[in-house]
Structure 1
Amino acid sequence: MSAPARPLLSRLKTAVVQWIDADYCPDGPEKMRQEPDKVDWVRVMPFAVLHLGCFGVIWTGWSPFAAWSAVALYFLRMFAVTGIYHRYFSHKTYSTSRFGQFLLAVWGGTTVQRGPLWWAYHHRHHHQHSDDEEDAHSPHVHGFWWSHIGWITSRRNFPTDYSKVKDLAKFPELVFLNRFDIVVPLLFAASMFGLGAALERFAPGLGTTGPQMLVWGFFISTTALFHGTSCINSMAHLMGRRRFKTTDDSRNSFILAIICLGEGWHNNHHRYQSSTRNGFYWWEIDPTYYGLKLLSWTGLIWGFKAVPQSVLAEGEHADHHRTVEAAARSEHVHVRSSLKKVVPTATALAVGTIQAAQAEAPKQPERPGIHKDTTELTVDKPDAKPAN
């Protein structure tokens, strides 16, 4: 074997083993984290398989049950991303028992977004370095596509830094789920196939099969879920409005709040991370919070953390000033618009008066200045762009 081929084969072997054991790092995780940011094409393969699996619909077809299952599983697992991986493991915005924590971690594992400790570590790191050079997925630093999907294919972002999640790493069952993060997704995919096969046998009227449920319930739903979640990384720092003056460019977006069940209130979240609710005000729709409230009625979770009144008052003050400024701009535009209507009319009356006077007087030499001034007044000009 040639010398140049050895490092390539060694890296390929490492990547393959890491698909099973995410903590496998022959040279140590710290050395991996020091590697330059670039796409590792071996790491891309699982995402390629996930996306290509969606094309299986060409052979399996569809049924209403399979399609609606994909939609339901998208929202059930988006809730797991936002309400469990994010609001519990990353920020501990509510409490649960150790057994409840394990159940939540398994639920989160069905999202196929790595293990709970890896997810929490990277999200906490994001808040520490939001929109600076150390932020792994800032669209301002790395660009849109890298923040959307590229960052997760980089070898340096693969290992979990357990020192940053010590509160979670003390539970062996969580470390197991994080280390062998392929187990839950494989079981979930197998369950989709098994459900479809069972329905084909016992409820043939539904028109679904094992392969069909695998394609719709796993591949299509999971691919949509991945891109929905990634929109927060790539778009929540680009689109929307900023209520709070944070040190990053986080923004609030109603559209992203719908797609990601409340995560679109990103500027709110970056202002106060410990709140269970991201939609700070009653009119900010936050489905994840509503779901967590329902879950709390079962006794599985409790101890929700509220937004401090001082933060709410700060937001209301900022909104009030923004409303006043918008009203002032609107009034300015309204007055200017009214003048645009009044001035041509007044000019026409003046010109008519002049022409009436000229009808009785001897004809005077033409005065181009009158026509020039009239034209400038009666032709609408484009409005100046209002200040933001």
Structure 2
Amino acid sequence: MAKLDLDVLPIPARLRDKEPPRLDKPYLWRDFTLFALVHILPLGALFTGTKWQDWAVCVGLYWLRMFAVTGGYHRYFSHRTFKTGRVFQFLLAFLAETSSQKGALWWAAHHRKHHKYSDTPWDAHSPIRHGFWHSHVLWVYYPDNDPTDYKQVRDLARYPELVWLNEHWMVPVIVLGALILLTMGWSGFFIAFALSTVLLWHGTFTINSLSHVYGSRRFATTDTSRNNWLLALITMGEGWHNNHHHYMLSTRQGFRWYEIDLTFYILKVMSWFHLVWDLREPPAELMRASAPAAKAADEPAPEVVAAP
């Protein structure tokens, strides 16, 4: 696979007079070390042994929290592709924050900037611009990315309970970890909590590091976003990334019947019980395989690999 010539992705006119950011600051290595140490915790199960319940809850917590990240952080807080009430909004943020991926407003602010600057030097986690490891995880520990840019999420910052939860995002993590430890013991803590958290991290992170590199392109977007069926399976639909970048206002990201989008299916069922409502679908022409808009964009994109 040939390396992409970045001239294929010209800087938009609105950014040409803007000084590109320099990644010349040291990462927050202390915070990263804590993140890395969590990867060792599951090894504690070698000393405690495990029960089948530990593994069952591990799988359940992976999928439950993946839904909270994809349906909550992404499709609700970042893009507002559906509506819900204030109480359920808070519960969704709380559950998503048990993923230990920082606060809902922090996540949404960064994601909105990602779409604004996708694959330009201002994109905080473009694998094309910044390489695999930075886009996969290190960007989180770059000092400029640590604060929450509340200007990007004024619509969410008007809710004081969301701001509090965003500033104290470790509270849900601690609550879940303590609950697992108290009810399932150390083996449950090591497997059901720690292992599922590590798997959840890297499952989520693949969308940043891989979905702009590997897969197919239905739509000729101005970035390198791609559709990847495998990533869609492990992230409950987020792998239909080219679809999403082409029409980000849609709750549904799988635009074809065969593009499995578990997050959308669950939200659809929840809408039957009025927990959520006003789910947005893509325009009908984007859903038709023979639609001119889709057909014209079914052209091969430049083959790319992430920057070193």
Matched-pair identity in %: 47
Q: Is the 8 A contact 2:98 2:176 kept in 1?
A: yes
Choose from 174, 182, 187 the match for 2:162. 174
2:247 partner letter: Y
Q: Is the 8 A contact 1:94 1:276 kept in 2?
A: yes
1:49-83: CA deviation from partner (whole Å, max 9, x where unpaired)? 21121221111221211112101110111011101
Structure 1 residue 297 and structure 2 residue 267: aligned? no
The answer for unaligned runs of 5 or more in structure 2 is 1-20, 301-308
* Structure-2 change in CA distance of 1:282 and 1:136 (3 Å): same
Match of residue 115, structure 1, among 86, 94, 103: 103
Where structure 1 has 5 or more consecutive residues not aligned to the other structure, the ranges are 1-32, 197-209, 327-388
Q: Deviations over 1:21-68 (max 9, x none)?
A: xxxxxxxxxxxx998454221121221221121221111221211112
The two structures have a TM-score, normalised by structure 1, of 0.69
Q: Kindly indicate whether the alpha-carbon contact (under 8 Å) linking 1:243 and 1:318 is maintained by their aligned counterparts in 2.
A: no
Matched ranges for 1:310-329 at <5 A: 310-312=285-287, 316-317=291-292, 320=295
Alignment partner, residue 350 of structure 1: none
Higher helix share: 1
Give 1:125's match in structure 2, choosing from 100, 109, 113. 113
Note the C-alpha offset of 1:163: 0.8
Separation of aligned partners in 1, 2:22 and 2:169: 23
Retained in 2: the 8 A contact 1:34–1:156?
no
Q: What residue in structure 2 maps to residue 69 of structure 1?
A: 57
In the alignment, which of 240, 246, 258 is matched to residue 215 of structure 2?
240
1:176-228 per-residue CA deviation (whole Å, 9 max, x = no partner) reads: 000011111000100111221xxxxxxxxxxxxx1011111211000000000
Matched residues in 2 for 1:168 and 1:315: separation? 38
The amino acid across from 2:251 in the alignment is: T
Cα separation, partners in 2 of 1:161 and 1:172, compared to 1, 3 Å: same
Contact 1:257–1:285 (Cα < 8 Å) also in 2? yes
Alignment-derived partner of residue 370 in structure 1: none
Partner of 2:255 in structure 1? 280
Give 2:12's aligned residue: none
1:50 is matched with 38
Aligned to 2:303: none
Q: Is the Cα contact below 8 Å between 1:35 and 1:156 reproduced in 2?
A: no
AA paired with 1:68?
A: A
Whether contact under 8 Å (2:156, 2:162) holds in the other structure is yes
Quote the offset at 1:312 in angstroms: 3.5
What residue is the counterpart of 2:73 in the other structure?
85
RMSD of aligned Cα (Å): 2.0
- Partner amino acid, structure 1, of 2:29: W
Q: 1:35 to 1:249 in 2, by over 3 A?
A: closer
Cα distance, 1:67–1:218 mapped onto 2, change above 3 Å: same
Q: Tell whether the 8 Å contact from 2:207 to 2:231 is kept in structure 1 after alignment.
A: yes
- Give the paired residue count: 280
Distance in 2 of aligned mates of 1:293 and 1:177? 27
CA distance in 2, matches of 1:322, 1:112: 37
1:138 is the counterpart of 2:113: no
Q: Distance in 2 between matches of 1:187 and 1:295?
A: 25
User: 1:165: Cα distance to partner?
Assistant: 0.2
- Structure 1 stretches of at least 4 aligned residues deviating more than 4 Å after TM superposition: 318-323
Q: 2:186 aligns with which of 183, 208, 211?
A: 211
Which of 130, 143, 158 is matched with 2:146 structurally?
Answer: 158
Q: CA deviation at 1:320?
A: 4.9
1:178-193 alignment, distance < 5 Å = 178-193=166-181
How far 1:311 moved relative to its partner?
Answer: 3.4
CA distance in 1, matches of 2:40, 2:204: 19
TM-score by structure 2 length? 0.86
Amino acid at match of 1:113: Q
**Contact 1:111–1:225 (CA under 8 A) maintained in structure 2:** yes
The change in CA–CA distance for 1:322 and 1:48 in structure 2 (over 3 A counts) is closer
Could you tell me whether the CA contact under 8 Å between 2:229 and 2:240 is conserved in 1?
yes
Contact 2:256-2:289 at 8 Å conserved across structures:
no
- Alpha-carbon distance in structure 2 between the residues aligned to 1:247 and 1:322: 12
Once residues 263 and 322 of structure 1 are traced to their aligned partners in structure 2, the CA distance between those partners, rounded to angstroms, is 20
- Mark the CA change 1:145 to 1:228 in structure 2 (over 3 Å): closer, same or farther: same
Partner of 2:3: none
Counterpart contact for 2:150–2:157, Cα < 8 Å = yes
SS of the equivalent of 2:54 reads helix
